[in-house]
Amino acid sequence: MIWQENVEYVIMLTNLEEGSTIKCHQYWPNKGEGLDLGLYSIRVEEETMYAHFVIRRMTLRKKCVSGSRTVVQFHYTQWSDHGTPNPLNFVVFHRHFRHKMKPVLHPIIVHCSAGVGRTGTFIAFDVLTRCGSATDKVNVIEYIKAMRKDRMTMIQNVDQFIFLYKALFEFFRRKGGFVKREDFIKCYSDSSARETRKRIADEFNRLSSLKPEYCVDDFKMGKKYLSLNSTKSVLPVDHHLVYLTSYVRGRDSYYNAVTLSSFTRPCEFISAQFPAAGAAIDLARLLVDQESHFLVSLNPLSGISEIKDWVHEEIKNFKLGPYEIIKITQSILNTEIRKTTLKIKEKKEKTFHTVHLYECLDWNVDDVLPADTSTLINLIKQFCLDRKCTPDGPVTLISIDGATCCGIFIAVYNAIEELLQDNEVDICTIVQQLQCCRPEMISTKVEYEFCYKAVSDFLNTDNVYANI
């Protein structure tokens, strides 16, 4: 069908398996391999991973016919069959599709498992956003009726129908977009310039209006365990809350921590607060339960009473309930960063859980920003070197409330990832995605300005750019 209809682009909206059900058979080979399908052969030339989707560029050949064709597949991986995705993440996926595709005269294939629910929702969204952008109005009902004349039950249930409205709302209220690396350097290299500051301030003001509106019921767990929160003003959104799964007598399953994605991986980060009084054991549980081998503290731990023993030079091992924590190595990587390797062992288990702990030594716990952008850039650089060797498991970030400092780290990290992968960046969308999970992240203009300055300084430091 792809060959016959001269298809150049395929939108895939299902995973191969969801739960125990096979939703779609894999019709492409692994990257760098070939797949023979009778008259046709397929080879994946390039595969680019994002947090919520994958882009694959394939070469399609027909035997006995000279030449080949290029087919690009946009595979959205975060939409379950019985649910709907995050509207913003879906809009970002659609934007990448329209941004990277070239004008075509031939059909675009859109498919999920049955080809009506998720498929119908995507097609309606694509058509209505283009129609609305051109005419300033949309008619959702009439377009769905038109689709159903060609294929029955397009947009299969009420949740998908509601989601379509939410996604359209998200699309039409957003502004801005990708900034090429060279344009970013040109526009933001002098962050103190009046024009630059105004541009960033205007963008921050727009961003403030895009924050998600959560209600009291969205923070039920945080309110239930108020005594376990370092501050009562930063509570986790239940939908993104990380639960503790290990049993320890007298302890509950709650810790003020949420999951967030990097630019290229879903649930790459856990953003957590410093332990409340008597809750250091819960941080150990969090690391073990989530199989997190990296703990990044944005502030020095020597001043955090609950976990200062973790980095104390003279303490080699200590106990926290059923856990024994053993310090293996400790070194000063530079004047700003200390690295400590720990092993956490539960009494009943024979194996250890290894944790690489990075501390930012010159980012005071009372300061919203570090002294200089180089502090953050060097921390990201040092962390990335070890992360490449141990890519599995989430990275746990900790700060006074799990939002301050952590938001800046992830925003700059994700912006650097986007620049390295796509040679362009959209800091506004990066921050908006973080605020969907932690609304308190980067809540001030000075934090937002710092993100721009850090990314700009990164781009202007060729040595760091090459090493990353």
User: pLDDT tens, 422-449?
Assistant: 999 999 999 999 999 999 999 999 999 9
Compute the mean pLDDT over every residue in the chain, rounded to the nearest whole number: 93
Give the model's pLDDT for residue 462.
55
pLDDT at position 339: 95
* Model pLDDT, residue 187: 86
Backbone torsions φ then ψ of 4, nearest 5 degrees: -60, -40
Model confidence band, residue 348 (pLDDT cutoffs 50, 70, 90): confident
Share of the chain above pLDDT 90, in %: 84
Q: How many CA atoms lie within 13 A of 12 on its CB side?
A: 20
Q: For residues 49-56, give the mean pLDDT.
A: 97
Closest by alpha carbon to 232, among 269, 273, 260, 270? 273
Q: Give the pLDDT confidence of 284-326 residue by residue, as tens digits.
A: 999 999 999 999 999 999 999 999 999 999 999 999 999 999 9
pLDDT at 266 over 80: yes
The secondary element (H helix, E strand) that includes residue 396 is strand 395-399
Helix 406-422 and helix 373-389, axial crossing angle in degrees, nearest 10: 70
Q: What is the pTM of this model?
A: 0.94
Q: What are phi and psi of 56, to 5 degrees?
A: -120, 130
* Average pLDDT for 207-219: 92
CA–CA dist 262, 421 (Å, integer) = 13
Residue 467 confidence class, pLDDT cut points 50, 70, 90? low
**What domains are there in the chain, each with its CATH number?**
9-173 (3.90.190.10), 185-467 (3.90.190.10)
Q: What is the dihedral of CA 113, 119, 121, 125, to 10 degrees?
A: 150
| Residue 431 token pair | 């921050």
Please tell me the predicted confidence (pLDDT) of residue 194: 85
Whole-number pLDDT of residue 465: 52
Report which residue type is found at 250.
G
* 461 has a pLDDT exceeding 80: no
**Nearest CA-CA partner of 169 in 204, 201, 200, 209:** 209
Indicate whether 349 pLDDT > 60.
Answer: yes
Amino acid making up residue 83: G
pLDDT, tens digit, 9 for 90 and up, residues 239-261: 999 999 999 999 999 999 999 99
Per-residue pLDDT, 193: 84
Residue corresponding to tokens 């150990």: 284
pLDDT number for residue 83? 86
CA 422 to chain centre: 15
Average pLDDT, integer, range 93-101 = 94
How many Cβ atoms sit within 10 Å of the Cβ of residue 85? Answer: 20
Q: What are the tens digits of pLDDT across the range 154-208?
A: 999 999 999 999 999 999 998 778 999 999 988 887 767 888 899 999 999 999 8
pLDDT band, residue 377 (cuts 50/70/90): very high
Does pLDDT of 468 surpass 70? no
Classify residue 443 by its DSSP letter.
-
Instruction: Report how far apart, in Å, the C-alpha atoms of 30 and of each of 55, 64, 260, 355 are.
Output: 13, 24, 28, 32
The encoded tokens of residue 107 equal: 């059909």
Please state the rounded mean pLDDT for residues 402-423.
Answer: 96
Top-ranked range on mean pLDDT: pick from 272-281, 379-388, 454-463: 272-281
Neighbours of 362 (CB within 10 A): 15
pLDDT of residue 445: 95
Residue 241 is classified by DSSP as B
